[in-house]
Amino acid sequence: MGYKIVVVGATGNVGREMLNILDERQFPVDAIEVLASRRSIGTEVSFGDKTLKTKDLDTFDFTGWDMALFAVGSEATKKYAPLAAKAGCVVIDNSSLYRYDPDVPLVVPEVNPEAVLDYSKKNIIANPNCSTAQMVVALKPLHDRARIKRVVVSTYQSVSGAGKDGIDELWDQTKSIYNPVDNKEFNKFTKQIAFNVIPHIDVFMEDGSTKEEWKMVVETKKIIDKDIKVTATCVRVPVFVGHSEAINIEFEDHLDEDEARDILREAPGVMVIDKREDGGYVTPIECVGDFATFISRIRQDSTIDNGLNLWCVSDNLRKGAALNAVQIAETLGQRVLKKG
C-alpha cells in the first residue's frame, strides 16, 4: 500500500519538479491529485508517463489524503494549508510562512531528519529557503567535526528562484535587448536582470539586510545550531536554474582542507568536484536536474586561525525546494506513517 499525495501549485516551477522527483525516486504513490488556482483548471502536467489535469485548490477536500506537498506563495498557503492539516493530511510546505514557527519543524533530511517527528503539533512540516537548504547540507558534516563559529556567505541566485515569472522575465528581456520591437514592461525584478546582477532579493529589513539574507541566518540556526553566526549577501544573477554560493567558514577547532574534502566526500547529499585545474569545479548549468549539492574550491583561509573557503552549487528547484520536500515525505513515511 502506498500514499495518497496531493501536489499543490502543480503548474509552477517547484510543483512540476515535485512531480518529476516523486516519479524519479519511485515514491510509493497510490493516488495523486494536482492542484493550482482556478485559472489553471484542466491544465495538463506530467507525472512519469501519465498526464494529469489540474484541479482547483479552492474547492478541494483534503480528507483522506496522506500528504500535501505545497508549492504556492505564502498567501495561498496561509489560507489552504491549515484546512489540509485540519483534515488530517500532513502538509509539507515550500513557502516561508511556517519556517520560523516553533511548532513547525524546519527539515533538511540530510541534516536534521529527526525533526520530522515534531510534525504533529500542527500537522505541518516546513521546507527551508533554497539558498539555506544547499548551504546547510555542506555545513553540517563540517560542524560535527570542528564546530562552526561564523559563516560569511555570498549567493549567486538564479531567476527560477523567483518563480515562473522570473524565468520569463530573463528570457524576454534578453531577447528584447537584441530585438527591441515590443515595448514590454518588466516588473518582476527591481532592475534589469539580463546581462546584470542585482544585490537585492525579497524585501529590505530595518537593519539594511534583505529578508532573503535574514532567512539564511535564522534558518541555519534553527536547522543546525543556534550558536552559529551567519552573515549573508544575496544576489540575483542572470542564470535560469542553479544557485551558487561562495562560503567562508570559521571553526572553533582546526580543520585541514584535505580532511574537510574527505568529510564532504562521505557526507549525504554532497558531491565533491574539486580539482585545481581549468574546469575542475562545478558551475550552475552542470547541476541542473541533479539531486546533489556540489562542493568545489575547498581551500584554507589563511587570514583567520581556523578558516575554510568553499564554492557550493545546487539545483534550487530540486535541493532548494522540490527534492527536499519529497525527501521529507520519504522520511515521514519511513519513520511515522509506514506505508509503501
From 4, 5, 13, 140, residue interacting with ligand NAP (rule: CB under 6 A): 13
148-157: strand order across its sheet: 229-236, 148-157, 243-251, 307-314, 293-300, 270-272
Write down the catalytic residue from 89, 130, 234, 312: 130
CA angle centred on 291, ends 307 and 100, rounded to 5°: 65
Catalytic residue, from 89, 143, 234, 243: name it: 243
For residues 224 and 111, the answer to whether their CB atoms sit within 8 Å is yes
CB-facing half-sphere around the CA of 195: CA atoms within 13 A: 7
Q: What is the dihedral of CA 323, 332, 225, 295, to 10 degrees?
A: -30
Does residue number 132 form part of the binding site for ligand NAP (CB under 6 A)?
no
CA distance 320 to 35: 21
Contact between 320 and ligand NAP by CB under 6 A: the answer reads: yes
One-letter amino acid identity for 188?
A: K
Min dist CB 72 to ligand NAP, Å, is: 4
**Contact status: 81 vs ligand NAP (CB under 6 A):** no
Under the criterion CB under 6 A, does residue 139 sit at the interface with ligand NAP? no
Told to check if 137 binds ligand NAP by CB under 6 A, we report: no
Question: Nearest approach, Cβ of 14 to ligand NAP (angstroms)?
Answer: 3
Comparing CB distances to ligand NAP, the nearer of 28 and 163 is 163
**Is 130 among the catalytic positions?**
yes
- Binding part of the chain for ligand NAP, among 67-75, 225-233, 247-255, 288-296 by CB under 6 A, reads 67-75
Q: Please report, to the nearest 10 degrees, the dihedral formed by the alpha carbons of residues 211, 212, 217, 221 taken in order.
A: 100
Are the CB atoms for 243 and 132 separated by under 8 Å? no
Question: Is 200 noted as a catalytic residue in this protein?
Answer: no
Q: Does 317 bind ligand NAP (CB under 6 A)?
A: yes
Q: What positions carry a catalytic annotation? A: 130, 243
The residues that touch ligand NAP, with contacts defined as CB under 6 A, are: 9-15, 36-37, 39-40, 57, 71-73, 76, 94-95, 130, 160-161, 163-164, 316-317, 320-321
